[in-house]
Structure 1
Amino acid sequence: METKDYLKDIQDIKQMMSQSSRFMSLSGLSGVLAGVYSLIGAWLAYKTIYFDTSTSGSYRDLVISFEAVYRLLLIGISVMILSIITGLFLSLRKATKGKEEFWNPTSRRLLINFLIPLLTGGFFIVFLIEKNILELVAPLTLIFYGLACVNASKYTLGDVRYLGITQILLGLLSTWFLSYGLLFWALGFGVCNILYGSIMYFKYDRK
């Protein structure tokens, strides 16, 4: 009987240590909604590229006006802002419900480790857009987002690591199919976020 009590105490201690070193209030539902926003953004981007500009169906032959480029940037920024606001709101609500402090050293480390690869990639992608190297934008957004997820995963739910790895693989694969960059972008930011967000929601949020 005492042995069982000791084992239970050890498990409780391990759980407490894990919770103290990881931000456990990341909302799976926010991932689902971010995926939905991304799919809507991909649809708007598709309309902008293939209906508002001249195209022959390939990135190499695609002619995109500066106005269309700015519109695509606006779509991407809008999706990102909506996703961030939704993630913050739902994670804050989950933290409050679970009586966990939302802004603590762990969540700060999570944010910093997420932003380092993301901002690095963002600046690099802006440089590519300025140089009109548009065919690499979709693959690199997936790759740097994946790196950000992997880098931040050690401070939050482990599922984020697998999401990041999936995004990196999709980004690398899309470099071989540059003409389908938007499709890969929708698959990564849309479908994968919805899939992993749903898994995290049913695994953690509904407890």
Structure 2
Amino acid sequence: MKQEQDYSRDLAEIRTMMERSSKFLSLSGWAGIMAGIYALAGAFIAYKVFDFHPDGIMDISYAAGTLSSNLVNLILLAAFVLAMAIGTAIYLSSKKAEKRGETLWNATARRVLINMAVPLTVGGLLILILIAKGFIGFVAPFTLLFYGLALYNASKFTYGEMRSLGLIQVGLGLISAYFVGYGLFFWALGFGVVHIIYGIYMHYKYER
């Protein structure tokens, strides 16, 4: 009986070692929660302060070929929210990796980044083109779509829950593309509310 228990323990340790070497497990649930809070704050500022609520694909207040001060402020706001989310994720994930006796920047982390890079880069360039052409209504749907595809693409190298998160973002992006006038609402729902729920779930499942 004791020998069987030893075998079971050895197998569990081997499985854990293989999982650590093949999957990036240092993602912090709190990083998702904070990213969601930043996104909700950014959406609120965009709506209330910069009066951003395009009701169609082409918004006359952001005509093609122009770059109004309001649009510049929105771009800077988006960049700030993104920088805060990434910075917080790096800090909290590095702390988690340290507790696990690992380094944050390892081969698996590089695989995650590489698999996310292509969808995010293509999506980012397309969104810049849409802004340049004045198709503001499609910005929110496309950010959700390409972010979701990036998560789904990288999910095989980290927690399986990321695949579900990616599919949810893609679904919200498609719905948002149909209901263009509610783009900011769906953006806040996807990047804000869904991230917070996901972060809480991951924290209680893996970090407590």
TM-score between both structures, scaled by the size of structure 2: 0.91
Tell me what 1:69 maps to: 71
Amino acid at match of 1:3: E
Tell me the CA shift for residue 106 of structure 1. 0.7
The 8 Å contact of residues 25 and 94 in structure 1, kept in 2 or not, is answered as yes
Distance 1:88 1:60, change over 3 A: closer
Distance 1:180 1:164, change over 3 A: same
Amino acid at match of 1:151: N
Aligned equivalents of 1:101, 1:195: Cα separation in 2: 27
* Alignment equivalent of 1:90, drawn from 80, 89, 92: 92
Amino acid at match of 2:36: G
Aligned equivalents of 1:26, 1:108: Cα separation in 2: 13
Tell me the CA shift for residue 23 of structure 1. 1.1
Aligned equivalents of 1:154, 1:134: Cα separation in 2: 33
* Alignment equivalent of 1:130, drawn from 126, 129, 132: 132
Amino acid at match of 2:165: L
Moved over 3 A (4+): 60-63
Tell me the CA shift for residue 6 of structure 1. 2.2
Q: How many residue pairs get matched?
A: 202
**What secondary structure does 1:130 align onto?**
helix
Tell me the CA shift for residue 67 of structure 1. 1.6
Tell me the CA shift for residue 48 of structure 1. 4.2
The 8 Å contact of residues 137 and 183 in structure 2, kept in 1 or not, is answered as yes
Aligned equivalents of 1:59, 1:48: Cα separation in 2: 20
Between 1:134-143 and 1:156-165, the stretch displaced more is: 156-165
Tell me what 2:80 maps to: 78
**What secondary structure does 1:194 align onto?**
helix
Tell me what 1:99 maps to: 101
Alignment identity in percent? 47
Written as runs of structure 1 = structure 2, the 5 A alignment for 1:1-207 is 1=1, 2-50=3-51, 58-59=55-56, 62-65=59-62, 66-206=68-208
The 8 Å contact of residues 55 and 137 in structure 2, kept in 1 or not, is answered as no
Tell me the CA shift for residue 98 of structure 1. 1.4
> Which segments of 5 or more consecutive residues in structure 2 lack a partner in the other structure?
63-67
The 8 Å contact of residues 33 and 194 in structure 1, kept in 2 or not, is answered as yes
Amino acid at match of 2:177: T
CA RMSD of aligned residues (A): 1.7
> Which segments of 5 or more consecutive residues in structure 1 lack a partner in the other structure?
none
Amino acid at match of 2:32: G
Tell me the CA shift for residue 59 of structure 1. 2.5
Distance 1:8 1:18, change over 3 A: same
Tell me the CA shift for residue 92 of structure 1. 0.5
**What secondary structure does 1:36 align onto?**
helix
Amino acid at match of 1:44: I
Aligned equivalents of 1:119, 1:41: Cα separation in 2: 22
Aligned equivalents of 2:137, 2:77: Cα separation in 1: 17
Amino acid at match of 1:88: I
Distance 1:181 1:7, change over 3 A: same
Aligned equivalents of 1:17, 1:175: Cα separation in 2: 41
The 8 Å contact of residues 23 and 110 in structure 1, kept in 2 or not, is answered as yes
Distance 1:87 1:60, change over 3 A: closer
